[in-house]
Amino acid sequence: MAEEKAKQTQASDMPDWSAYRGVMIVVEQRAGVAKNVSWQLLGEGRKLADKLETDLIAMVLGQDIYHLAEEAIAFGADRVYYCDAPELRDYRTRPYSRVCLQTIEEVKPEIVLFGATATGRDLAGAIATHLPTGLTADCTILDVEPDPSRLLLASRPAFSEKMLATILCKQYRPQMATARSGVFEARVPDPQRQGKIIAVPSQMAEDEIAAQVLRFIEATETFNLEEAEIIVAGGRGLGGPEPFKLLQELADALGGVVGASRAAVDAGWIGHEHQVGQTGCTVRPKLYFAVGISGAVQHTVGMQSSDLIVAINRDANAPIFKFANYGIVGDLFQIIPAITDSVRQKRA
Ligand code: FAD
């Protein structure tokens, strides 16, 4: 009853936003390949749009990216606005934000979501400032209230990750948020799905754009934890930086990458970009090895959605075994080299 009253108050407090309808996902791509977070957001956006009984809209920008508009429909979009232009080949804030702003102003979505990547954060910030509206960064849970408020409930860790804050944007539209990769699940793409693909014009000519991309240098050419399909993660049980070489050998044999618990990162054994968990990356690989990791909740929130979890720990009562599909009780220094040898033999 009290909750019902609170909702009514919210709705009556708010301006009339009936001109704004639809949930829009801004798809991020590089060299014609979409980031996984975009498809994950389409999966979550589909649920929000269904709850609001409205359209799921995708926005795709770049050069030679028509195929991504088709993929967006397969991943759940009803409508896709795409802008294909040479000046959009590489991400630059002004030409990208101009096209997005123009499209948002014309289409009037009630919600706009971006991946919480370097590009997504930059673009979302620029757009929110111009519209102007609020922006909730780094969300880990998204939900909506149905009619009449149709509010986006954007939740994210707050106060040094000790609390979860749910942030509302009542006085402005659209409601905007960025969301972390690996938190939401992409739908299985359906190539038979039908939807509308609408071309929109670019808003700036090359000679109006001050920033030039001279060269693109990958931060780490072979390392991408959030998008990795296989992760071999190590914790305090490794006892130092050297044993991470054992994990790297197994990861190389499997075609995966190395992850870590915060204990290993805080000890300085491996870089923070490898950290999985509440204050690191949220990952959703096909295969996750937790090696010498006890299974603290701050670690498991970042990896528990992995398809298959293998835990290796010498303590049979370690909490990580509750999350594991396969558990091996024993000394990692014997078990890891044995698995690596076996993988190499099978691949030889
Ligand atoms: P431990 O808990 O010390 O576990 C080591 C394990 O190794 C033990 O289970 C032991 O049995 C096993 N072991 C030891 N030797 C061997 C051996 N030879 N063979 C096999 N097993 C062995 N943690 C994260 O991971 N990610 C985060 O993002 C994160 N964020 C946090 C945010 C906050 C606000 C706070 C308060 C904490 C956070 N933590 C995070 C820390 C978390 O609470 C744990 O302290 C941390 O995950 C423990 O790391 P661990 O499992 O490697 O170490």
* pLDDT digit string, tens, across residues 161-198: 668 899 999 999 999 999 988 889 999 999 999 999 99
Nearest alpha carbon to residue 179 among 151, 145, 159, 156: 156
Distance CA 296, CA 319 (A): 7
Distance 155 CA to ligand 1 centre (A): 26
Q: Which residue has the tokens 């997005």?
A: 100
Contact 171, 15 (CB under 8 A): yes
Closest ligand 1 atom to 260 CA: 25
Closest ligand 1 atom to 279 CA: 28
Q: Which residue has the tokens 């300085």?
A: 268
**What per-residue confidence (pLDDT) applies to 12?**
63
**Does the CB atom of residue 294 touch ligand 1 within 6 A?**
yes
pLDDT digits (tens, 9 = 90+) for 92-116: 999 999 999 999 999 999 999 999 9
Nearest alpha carbon to residue 180 among 121, 122, 232: 121
Query: Could you tell me the pTM of the whole model?
Result: 0.73
**What per-residue confidence (pLDDT) applies to 153?**
98
306 Cα distance to chain centroid: 14
Q: Is 178 annotated as a binding residue?
A: no
DSSP string across 133-180? --EEEEESEEEE--TTT--EEEEEEETTTTEEEEE---SSSSEEEEE-
Instruction: Count the Cβ atoms, other than its own, within 10 Å of residue 88.
Output: 20
Does the pLDDT value for residue 1 go beyond 50?
no
**What per-residue confidence (pLDDT) applies to 2?**
40
Considering the chain, what percentage of its residues have pLDDT values greater than 70? 94
ipTM of the complex: 0.99
Contact 283, 302 (CB under 8 A): yes
Nearest alpha carbon to residue 181 among 280, 266, 307, 290: 280
